[in-house]
Amino acid sequence: MALKSIKDVMKTVQRPEKVLQFGEGGFLRAFVDWQIDIANEKAGFNGNIVIVQPLEKGMIDAMNAQDNLYTTVLRGMKDGKPTVETRCINSVSRSINPYTNYDEYIALASSPDLRFIVSNTTEAGIRFDSEIDGVPVTLDQKPQKNFPAKVTAFLYKRFQAFKGDLSKGMILIPCELSDQAGLNLRINILRYAEMWQLGPDFINWFDEACDVCSCLVDRIVPGYFPLLSKEENGKTQAENLCEKLGYEDKLLDSAELFHFWVIESKKPHEDELPLVKAGLSVKWVQNMDYYHTRKVRILNGAHTSSVLAAYLAGSNYVQDIVCSEKVGSGFNEPNADAQKFMHDIIFNEIVPSIDGDQEDLKKYAQDVWTRFQNPFNPHRLIEISLNSVAKYWTRCLPSVTQSIKKNGSVPKLLGFSIAALISFYNGTEIKDNAKGQKCLISKRDEGEYENLDTLPVLEFFAALNKETKDAKVKANKVLSNVEFWKEDLTKYAGLEAAVAGHLADIQKNGMKKALAEIVK
């Protein structure tokens, strides 16, 4: 028997519309909208979200077809066991396509209830365009294609509607994956205000009444597509989930259990958006540098410093490294040496190298370790390896150099990770792959693989590998490459000799034996 639709089983809840959201994708729905749904239930926020489709094509029709109801499917490890938690989200009141229903969209600028704007239009979306496809970006377009231009026009309409009332300003929280999304959005709004000659009164109102926040978002949201994989009964994960839920939901949104949101603002807005009161992992701060550093160095740094060695040792997924036993079909048997390498590099070298509360850093590192074990989000090492040189510079090198400065010696495992990076780029031939991408054809015991990076990086390693096999020469040329590291790393006492020694061990014994030896 066919299942009923979610809208026949669940009901929408009428509340004041306090949040305008640019973007209907899986991330915002499983992160921001999920949190606001909980704030409605547990902290009396009493506010709904209006979703605006930022591009001409999107999934607004699918949202409205379900009365904007959908289910989040949170999956991960909890208390050492795989756990699934579902929640029907009723915090979205309506979804609007401004390209076909502009009047309904712009009428929101006059709403006295509206207070927040959130977005996720990709970091490339926060840019200034004076024209698009040869057409000038103007105030009277309905709507503007550029996201900051849309926001500027919306805010100007609001300024006019309320005659510059300072109590009707907006709190903007762009969730694009950029360190300075808030700052960049604010700058671009001011540029459009100047280009369109909106006047000093509007600019003063924007500066005094509005708060444009930067933020750090931390949750892996695979979305709907992983739920399309088949399970043992021949049905997809989505079909089986809907049968358990008792309704059909074409907008299921999967995410990990973990969430963390740091919002950098002029002042805390917890009184208006009571996320902390609702028990959510949210921080309102005036400077989020520490949290950004914590995430990049521990979460991202753990990946980049560990996965290249693990891949060369035969592992294919993060779960092959961090899990003590095989967690499902498709995964390899656990690699105990790779597991110890990643664990020790995080807790013994990366965490101590970071300035800040060591207990907080260790707790976050433990959360990261648990997240890596999530069997529901298989993460391929070869995908993590994309652009490893640039990633190593931003994510890992600060841990290396700060550890040397603090301790006066080269951290053993991080030093080995540089040798592993050099070993990973071991090819001599650059080819176009099936997708037309330039790649370096490299080898491990299990066969060939494709190194994907910028062409200058690939050309450097191809030339180096043709020129020499000598570990000392390779270590010197890689570490002294200022284009890679923005400095000559051979100036750090002992680093060149350490990397050369590790590289020689890898070349002589292979990665599996070298990895086993380094973690003894």
pLDDT of amino acid 486: 97
Rounded mean pLDDT, 416-422: 98
Share of the chain above pLDDT 90, in %: 91
pLDDT-derived band at 253, boundaries 50, 70, 90? very high
pTM of the model: 0.91
Which structure tokens are listed for 31?
């992160």
DSSP bridge partners of 119 = 22, 174
329 pLDDT above the threshold of 80: no
pLDDT of amino acid 15: 98
The DSSP element (H or E) to which 452 belongs, if any, is: strand 447-452
* 311 φ/ψ angles, rounded to the nearest 5 degrees: -65, -45
Q: How many CA atoms lie within 13 A of 367 on its CB side?
A: 18
Pick the CATH number of 6-285 from 3.40.50.720, 1.20.200.10, 3.30.310.50, 3.40.50.2300: 3.40.50.720
263 pLDDT above the threshold of 90: yes
Rounded mean pLDDT, 166-193: 94
pLDDT-derived band at 124, boundaries 50, 70, 90? low
328 pLDDT above the threshold of 80: no
Rounded mean pLDDT, 313-331: 84
Distance separating alpha carbons of residues 151 and 149, to the nearest angstrom: 5
Same fold, 6-285 and 289-518: no
Number of neighbouring beta carbons within 10 Å of residue 231: 12
326 pLDDT above the threshold of 80: no
The residue length of the chain stands at: 520
The more confidently predicted of residues 61 and 328 is 61
pLDDT of amino acid 106: 98
pLDDT-derived band at 268, boundaries 50, 70, 90? confident
Read off the pLDDT of residues 200-227 as tens digits, 9 standing for 90 and up. Answer: 999 999 999 999 999 999 999 999 988 9
Mean pLDDT of the chain, nearest integer: 95
pLDDT-derived band at 323, boundaries 50, 70, 90? confident
232 pLDDT above the threshold of 90: no
Taking each continuous run of H as one helix and of E as one strand, the counts in the chain are: 24, 17
DSSP string, 480-497: T-HHHHSS-GGGSTTHHH
pLDDT of amino acid 123: 58
pLDDT of amino acid 206: 98
Fold of 289-518: N-(1-d-carboxylethyl)-l-norvaline Dehydrogenase; domain 2 (1.10.1040)
Residue spans of the domains in the chain: they are: 6-285, 289-518
pLDDT of amino acid 216: 96
DSSP string, 19-30: EEEE--SHHHHH
